[in-house]
Chain A
Amino acid sequence: DGGITQSPKYLFRKEGQNVTLSCEQNLNHDAMYWYRQDPGQGLRLIYYSQIVNDFQKGDIAEGYSVSREKKESFPLTVTSAQKNPTAFYLCASRLTGGNEKLFFGSGTQLSVL
């Protein structure tokens, strides 16, 4: 059940503030992903990274930023430009090279004060 850890579990953002969500994995996975989950809308891809120091925008990247300085870590920053940040954020990872299975973290619930 472990292997990919997200923190914190709950996070509150004040207006105009940037906040960073942590995602760490010890599965030696190459690819990492960030999804946003809103009620009734499924999971939408924010950013993904296939290798260190490289990442691509997903479907809803506006107002978010990421970095991939280490293989194990893929933090997501929710910037003040994201006007509707309240959501459940899920990080995921997988091996590449034909292994399709995504492993998800336990998520971070972000709310706006």
Chain B
Amino acid sequence: GENVEQHPSTLSVQEGDSAVIKCTYSDSASNYFPWYKQELGKRPQLIIDIRSNVGEKKDQRIAVTLNKTAKHFSLHITETQPEDSAVYFCAAGSGSARQLTFGSGTQLTVLP
């Protein structure tokens, strides 16, 4: 089955700096890669996703890049703000059921 590894497990940045979280996956059949943000005590929410036919996608201050050859994808957050502090999960999925395999999460802390 699919295996997703996520690094780092914790990340602290100064407000205004950029943050990068990286994930690798093992199954070359995976073709859908979402990122979820989970604030403390709240449900995970989708913040951005990318499909395997695209190399990069941006949405305001967040972007995701995908390298299919190397089987890794990354989340980039620019101009970080305190409200970006949360746990971020990457995931990989394929097939019609889209059962996702999640990474272990990254606790991002943005220091004011």
Interface residues of A (CB under 8 A from B): 31, 33, 35, 40-45, 48, 50, 56, 58-59, 90, 94, 96, 100-102, 104-107
Question: In the complex, what distance in Å separates the CA atom of A96 from the CA atom of B6?
Answer: 27
Main secondary structure of the interface of B (DSSP, over half): strand
Q: Identify 16 new A-B residue pairs, CB closer than 8 A, beyond the known A33-B99, A41-B104, A102-B46.
A: A31-B97, A31-B98, A42-B4, A42-B6, A42-B102, A42-B103, A42-B104, A43-B91, A44-B102, A45-B99, A45-B100, A59-B1, A101-B34, A104-B45, A106-B43, A107-B43
Give bound CA distance, A85 to B111, whole Å.
35
- B residues with a Cβ closer than 8 A to A are 1, 4, 6, 9, 32, 34, 36, 42-46, 49, 89, 91, 93, 96-105
Q: Across the interface, do A40 and B98 meet the contact criterion of CB distance under 8 Å?
A: no
Q: Is the CB of B97 within 8 A of A104?
A: no
CB–CB A106/B9 < 8 A: no
Asked whether B98 lies within 8 Å of A100 as measured between CB atoms, the reply is yes
Partner of B44, one of A43, A50, A59: A43
Residue of B44, B98, B101 touching A94 (CB-CB under 8 A): B98
* Count of A-B contacts judged by CB separation below 8 Å: 56
| Contact sample, A vs B, 25 pairs, CB 8 Å cutoff | A31-B97, A31-B98, A40-B9, A40-B104, A40-B105, A42-B89, A42-B102, A42-B105, A43-B89, A43-B91, A44-B102, A45-B99, A45-B101, A50-B97, A59-B1, A90-B43, A100-B49, A100-B93, A100-B98, A101-B46, A102-B46, A102-B98, A104-B45, A106-B43, A107-B43
